[in-house]
Structure 1
């Protein structure tokens, strides 16, 4: 039986603490619980967000038996359980291990892999990344060196449509076709062309190179490295790959700024079976919602706190969409919850200055052009990437900004007036293009058309 660690107390930590020392990495996991204000918290890494129906059933049962019953989706397609007793870790680990959700106790916190959720379903990508997902997870779990990665370090597998490439992962594999792929190291425009069968091994080689480069710098992720070290990292990866006999050629490919998630509803394509894409308001699933999802087919949890249900018989799809909608999930364009996200806030987090989930719900209105994310403090846990409206609770009120990439503009502060706050957020979400449609409507059909 896998041994679980007790819930660890909250402690302040600099984001530049050394990632290679596990004693300094307090990221919660399935075996290391985190003590929050609403009880212990477990974070279960699910590479690519892929769950079989039996695995999903085990997760739901564990949340009801050991926690508050709800499952919380993260911005990396993982699952969190909250309200756990501090001493439940051993029982939780046993349940997860039996379901195949803990293939390696030493690696469970470093299995941070997001993947294009529609890959292989709608025909829009250049390559199906599922073989890469299986191979990379196997290589990670077999690598002693990979245990030194931080629980924050992120891999992304993009099938060529550009969705998860825009999420700012530390290492991104991009599909080009059956024979070749690209490896992006960090956030720059340099990518490395490699043979597709060697791509997962190339990503692990790059992770090893990062760990060596990060030694002594206090870097958790590639973006934390000193500028000159980060700039030199792709060349070091090239050197190591060539030493290993992997053909590699550097080239330039800008990283997309905007990450568009699958549109909600039926996924285009699919002849013998159907897939449905649904959104989860604030990423929080009640027991009955999770049972409905997990009983419908296979699941691919998305980095936008949603789920793609796969393996649905075509004649069942319309009725299931109606059931999911009636259960409070987002099943099509026009939902007021489209593009609305928030951290856990009060009362679950001691650092939060407000109950931002309740505030987000009170401010919900017609969907705007831009997504909005509510944060209870300056840490802004789980915030999106690309372009969005940033609402942060501060001692002086709520600060509202338009974020695009690394810059924030149009900042204003609203003090203790819920109506004024809701109006300011609505204006910010639509102010930059009054007649522009929402992102759900804007995404092209070929994408299957946004913690």
Structure 2
């Protein structure tokens, strides 16, 4: 089990020497808040996006009582609260999270960055139910003093073999294999070993601890594996792999870019229940909408999985109740169909939340999306709106990039991952420019499950 919370908010254990440089990164957490223009911001790590019945409502209540009444879903399946008003917001939030089991170790709260295949164990696909890996890796992380030195940027990915989260550029990736006995361990995307399925979380942790050994001797700040070891070769040499079967034959195929579960309902194997998939427009929902989600989940299996594609998955919904549950989610503001023009639309915080932003990109994104008319046979390329050149929150993969510039215009860049063409567009002309760009660039491959 994860360690119990080990200190008050203002007295967390000292970071091990090997990780001090990494801990200087600016990633916020639930204890270390980020000061944004709209108030302090907290990021709550949700390993694997897994929330239980008693945990689902806690972030919504905290957003209402302590923040601006909204929740942001991040590209790592975590949750953010903005505009935290109370002077003791960090202490109050930490107490609520700890009581719900969402803060098992104060020392490790920013190190618990774990993404996992959202539909694993639910739809009959994949070679393992990685939710067990998520729980075991989280417990191992919280029990490792060294792991407290991982930066808030370091990422683990646990993929059940379908290739969805393996495409997200994690530092340490574990992928279930067709033989169901072994898993492939990848470091910075490079395959290094096949490990026993039962020991996969332990090897993921050992890889992270090996990275910290390398980072301790690195002259510059090393937040992620690629900072010190782009191919993972040096980290692999530090792993005690003598008792691990070598990777036999070629590496497993590399996954392509994925866009996550399809929105809507999917019958679960065995009949009788559905799994529902819904998205959050621009990755943001109200606390009220989140409570509707909690009610839908509570009437089903009592679980929610937050996805790295700024969405949620609700398993175990009785088949005869699924259509009404989808209507309730849609009425609360969630996206529940693939034909929505909001599908694949992301944006940074923009004004007024970010002082560096050159525009209110969310308002301009909403105006652009309202002009869309997506539907069957008219796939739209994903699009990301940024308020400056930092491109915060931009997902990987082919997409249209829309970036605000200092002259009050937007630079719209198209062309996928190869040669790219950019044009300058006035804000009033942005809806037409974005609509054209999303249709003239071929969409990336996507999962069908």
TM-score by length of structure 2 reads 0.88
Contact kept? 1:19, 1:220, Cα under 8 Å: no
Aligned to 1:366: 373
Give 1:21 deviation, angstroms.
2.4
Asked if 1:424 is matched to 2:433, the reply is yes
Instruction: Rate the CA distance shift 1:80–1:57 in 2: closer, same or farther, 3 A.
Output: same
Aligned to 1:186: 188
Give 1:323 deviation, angstroms.
1.4
Q: Secondary structure at the match of 1:267?
A: strand
Q: Secondary structure at the match of 2:207?
A: helix
CA RMSD of aligned residues (A): 2.1
Aligned to 1:377: 388
Contact kept? 1:3, 1:31, Cα under 8 Å: no
Alpha-carbon distance in 2 for matches of 1:268, 1:311: 9
Alpha-carbon distance in 2 for matches of 1:143, 1:248: 26
Instruction: Rate the CA distance shift 1:284–1:306 in 2: closer, same or farther, 3 A.
Output: same
Give 1:390 deviation, angstroms.
1.0
Give 1:398 deviation, angstroms.
1.1
Aligned to 1:11: none
Contact kept? 2:193, 2:245, Cα under 8 Å: no
Contact kept? 2:111, 2:152, Cα under 8 Å: yes
Contact kept? 1:264, 1:330, Cα under 8 Å: yes
Give 1:128 deviation, angstroms.
1.2
Instruction: Point out where structure 1 has 5 or more consecutive residues left out of the alignment.
Output: 7-17
Deviations 1:328-372 (CA, angstroms, capped at 9, x unpaired): 211112112111111111000111111111010000113453100
Alpha-carbon distance in 1 for matches of 2:246, 2:31: 38
Aligned to 1:400: 412
Deviations 1:212-266 (CA, angstroms, capped at 9, x unpaired): 22232422112223xxx433x33642552324x3333274345333113100011
Instruction: Rate the CA distance shift 1:191–1:427 in 2: closer, same or farther, 3 A.
Output: farther
Alpha-carbon distance in 1 for matches of 2:340, 2:10: 41
Aligned to 1:110: 111
Aligned to 1:78: 78
Q: Secondary structure at the match of 1:252?
A: coil
Alpha-carbon distance in 2 for matches of 1:322, 1:162: 30
Instruction: Rate the CA distance shift 1:253–1:23 in 2: closer, same or farther, 3 A.
Output: closer
Alpha-carbon distance in 1 for matches of 2:309, 2:252: 24
Instruction: Rate the CA distance shift 1:394–1:145 in 2: closer, same or farther, 3 A.
Output: same
Give the stretch that moved more between structures: 65-74 or 271-280. 271-280
Give the stretch that moved more between structures: 337-346 or 261-270. 261-270
Aligned to 1:329: 334
Instruction: Rate the CA distance shift 1:404–1:203 in 2: closer, same or farther, 3 A.
Output: farther
Alpha-carbon distance in 2 for matches of 1:164, 1:130: 13
Aligned to 2:246: 248
Give 1:5 deviation, angstroms.
4.8
Give the stretch that moved more between structures: 360-369 or 71-80. 360-369
